[in-house]
Structure 1
C-alpha cells in the first residue's frame, strides 16, 4: 500500500534533539501549512499545523539548522503518534526535508 506525503509549509517550532533507546537521534518540529486547494470544483482555503518527526543523524542535523518562519518541503509518511496505543492522531515521519527560500530548494536532506 502507498503512504507518501509531500507538504510545503513554514517551520513554527523546533523541539530539542532526543535519542531513542538505540541511540538514534530524533527531533520533532511543527509545520504550518496554508494553501488554496480545489475540492468538488471549488477553491477551498486550507490551514493546519502538522507534527513532523525527523529521525536519524542526517535529518536531525538538518532540522537543527532550520529556524522558525523558514519555508520547507517535507517528504515522508503518515503514522500514528504512538505505537503503544491505537490512537488516531497522525504525524509525519520525514524521509527528506528541503529548505524553500523564495520558492526554491536550497538544500536537500534525506534520511
Structure 2
C-alpha cells in the first residue's frame, strides 16, 4: 500500500513514469524506480503493532547529473506528507548501460503492515 501511495505522489514529477523494481526498455526520460529494500516491524512490549518502518530505495534517472539532482530534491519534497526520512544522503552514479545519470536514496517510511 505504501508503494502505491509513494507512486501516486511522485508520478506528477515525471509524467507517471514511476516503476517498481525496474523500468521498461526505451522508456521516456526522466523516470523513477522504486524498490522496497527492507524495513523493520514496529513492536511493543505487549506485541507487534500494525505498522512497519518500510525502507524504500528511490532511484531517479535523467539525462544530466544536474537534472537527476534536481529531481531527487523534488522527490524529497513530495515525500514530506508521509514523514519520510532519508537514510543518509543521496548517492550520484552514472549508469553506462543506459547512458543516464542516477541519483539514489533510501527512505524510511512508517506504513501499515
Superposition TM-score, scaled by structure 2 size = 0.28
Higher percent of residues as strand: 1
Q: Which has the higher helix share?
A: 2
Output the TM-score relative to the length of structure 1: 0.28
